[in-house]
Structure 1
Amino acid sequence: MAHHSPNATNLFSFPNTDELVDSLAFFIAKAQKESIDKKGRFTVALSGGSLPKMLRGLIGNPSIKWDKWQVYYADERVVPLDDADSNHLSCTNNLFSKVPIPTENIHVLDVSLLDDLEELSDAYEKELIKEFAQKDAARFPVFDLILLGMGPDGHTASLFPGHELLAEEDRWIAYLDDSPKPPLKRITFTYPVINHAARVVFVAAGKEKVEILSQVLDTPEAGLPASRVKPVFPGQLYWFVDDAASVGVQFPRSAFKP
């Protein structure tokens, strides 16, 4: 990878989805190798939406060491794990059911607590503490990689425009019961967790993302949730998009150099 200036945002735009998918898989494999070489594990957080489909380049990829992955959800809908709205179900159907990842390496909601949002989010925070606090003794967990999507309103994870959670600075995991789109109840990583990651990658494809991608990248001062993802140094932010989504964007593109 080229040298990146502190807190640079790297925009990679590809002619079609297949090239985006292949390049993203290459990027993830490289991040994984660096993490495993350094500390013997790879910590990843995923969200739902269209993102899981974009990870198909990892299926059958010989460089992926699934037994070293520890996977968390950057946000999750408060529903049973086999519910159509579950991000875990979407990630399982699109990816995990097709690769040899050990089930215990995928950290899901404690479904016995679905009726108590406070308990549920505390329990999920404890899952993170188990992985990160002992090892890194940091104020916030430092994920090797967080993979995010972006909604047409500029939301990411379950951080929505104008919502009070945009200001949350202490909790690792927060819950909401008033999501502007169903299902109403969700838990989500907060900005401090997202912004302490070593690498944050947004994936956005398709012409329906044109308007919002340009708003997020070209007018970050408008403060849309996706624009507020700004990893603290030395963390890096990457956008993997297709040309259909980035056609209206003024923001400078970087060359993707495998």
Structure 2
Amino acid sequence: MQFSRHLVISLLLGVSVHTSSAQQPKILVFSKTEGGYRHTSIEAGKIMFINTAKQYGIAADTTEDATWFTPAKLSQYKTLVFLSTRGNVLDSTQQLALMDYIHTGGGFVGIHAATTTEYEWPWYNRLAGAWFDGHPEPQQALYRVTDKNFPATNHLPDTFRHYDEVYNFKSVQDSLHYLITVEENSYSGGKMGSPHPVCWYREFEGGRSFYIGLGHFEKDYEDPFFLSIVWKGIQWAMQLK
């Protein structure tokens, strides 16, 4: 993929990039991180969203500026994508704006480290569905598709192997609909037993929430298999499917 120098510099600086027209539904890709490890794949993910969105009839803006979280600004988006966010990224006013957004029918899509976010805010745990609880070294594992009646997984094989960082989770919400699980006997370091979910969805307080735990590597954001799951999940969260 070829990208303009202006686009790459804007993304690296965390500047919101506006690529939409008035006719297209829009998503906001939010990738702010606070403290600890920051995924190098974030930049690849932002570039992918901006360049790929139009293929789905969608426009994508990106930002790492949490002041974007106001009712007025969020209201222009059909879904918010938390792309490997980390830490306490929203203040109390911004948290209220996110809650209002979901309560008025907005969508939420969490990718990979989105579950390492806002550990001190229980409502976010309910929105995202779980919190991160460590991981072994990246390795190949066997994944099982547990629900093929959902747009993001209805095109997938029953099982597949994938090399990634396999997250363990805690505070897993009871009302999640699991879409993909990982077989812990196919890799080392799993500690959740069976089932061990890695992708799920739920209707939540007036909005929709979708999460996928895969997506650690930059190469994932050029992988048609992974991206098909992400984009179909986004379309569902946007209530386009």
**Normalised by the size of structure 1, how large is the TM-score?**
0.30
- Say which structure is richer in strand: 2
**Normalised by the size of structure 2, how large is the TM-score?**
0.31
